Amino acid sequence: MTRKLRFFIAFTGLVTFCITGQARTYYQQFSALTFKTDSVQQLALLNKWQADDPNDPELYVCFFNYFVNKSTHELVSLDKRPGDNTSMEIQDSTGNTVGYIEDQVWMDPQNLTLAFSYIDEGIKAFPDRLDMRLGKIFILGKADSFASFTSELIEAAHHGHEIGNKWLWSENKEIDTPDKFFLTAVQDDINTLYTSGGNQVPMMRRVAEAVLRFYPKSVELLSDMAITYLYDGELDKALKYLLEAEKISPKDGVVLSNIAETYMRKKDKKKAIEYYKKVIATGDPELAESAKERLKDMK
């Protein structure tokens, strides 16, 4: 069974608050047609918009959305065993489970290629527009194109450094606290790699290492680097990054917990105890409780 999934990506929803004039009229019309799932009129509107105002950056965003929506389908299947995308359990009249409903998203490559061609044009014409870059990265993640996902994220970090991280959003408006905004986006994307279901640890490391060059005091990125080395069992390398993070944020309970865990894996009981006590001293209830349990186990 297949059914169309209306996929109006989140980042374009953020552009509605500051679009004015002719562009606002076109954008509002496009949004209305999207919610009506009228793809024929959407394309007609986009073509008219392109003829009237081909240099409008929102035009690239909406073309991108149009072809992303057109490429995206939801596949619904019945399986005997639960999977990662199980949405419903089916039982017979006696209450026995007889199957599971699975939801999966499939994106056809032809329309997806067109979507990327438009957003690439937009990024080329407006390279400081972070919404376009993050939108493309988001969809690359949905399409499981993690090599391109990683490269685009690293490219964004390099470009941000070149422009002093003075990123723009819709209608070329400056982003408040752009460093914090960008680093939050990077953390979200690293988490996407981590939870992708495949071994994306090398790509996580590539991203964290690249962005750390520009944000060497980022505790989150230092922790990300440490986690990739913990995953590979390289405890000394992991510890190096965690201890650097501790210098910057000595009361960060997560960092302290990871240091304690690393010492445990190194079989350095004395240092592990020292750091579990530091975790308890932070006052974080959940982390403190976990640290106390670990200390009990060690005794």
Q: Please tell me the distance from the alpha carbon of residue 235 to that of residue 257, in angstroms, as a whole number.
A: 14
| Residues 200-211: tens digit of each pLDDT | 999 999 999 999
Query: Where does 224-267 show beta strands of DSSP type E?
Result: none
With 50 as the cut, is the pLDDT of residue 9 above it?
no
pLDDT reported for residue 16: 37
3-state SS class at 106: strand
pLDDT reported for residue 91: 66
Q: Please tell me the distance from the alpha carbon of residue 153 to that of residue 158, in angstroms, as a whole number.
A: 9
pTM score above 0.85: no
The rounded mean pLDDT for the chain is 86
Band of pLDDT at residue 13, cut at 50, 70 and 90: very low
Q: Which residue has the higher pLDDT, 76 or 168?
A: 168
pLDDT reported for residue 39: 84
Question: Domain limits of the chain?
Answer: 1-126
With 80 as the cut, is the pLDDT of residue 196 above it?
yes
Q: Please tell me the distance from the alpha carbon of residue 187 to that of residue 182, in angstroms, as a whole number.
A: 9
Band of pLDDT at residue 98, cut at 50, 70 and 90: low
3-state SS class at 191: helix
Q: Please tell me the distance from the alpha carbon of residue 150 to that of residue 190, in angstroms, as a whole number.
A: 9
Q: Please tell me the distance from the alpha carbon of residue 256 to that of residue 249, in angstroms, as a whole number.
A: 10
Please compute the mean of the pLDDT values over residues 90-118 and round it to a whole number.
80
pLDDT reported for residue 106: 80
pLDDT reported for residue 22: 60
Q: Which residue has the higher pLDDT, 74 or 103?
A: 74
| Residues 139-178: tens digit of each pLDDT | 999 999 999 999 999 999 999 999 999 999 987 899 999 9
With 70 as the cut, is the pLDDT of residue 17 above it?
no
Q: Which residue has the higher pLDDT, 56 or 101?
A: 56
pLDDT reported for residue 104: 73
Report the share of the chain in percent with pLDDT over 70.
Answer: 84
Q: Which residue has the higher pLDDT, 170 or 8?
A: 170
Tokens of 90: 């089916």
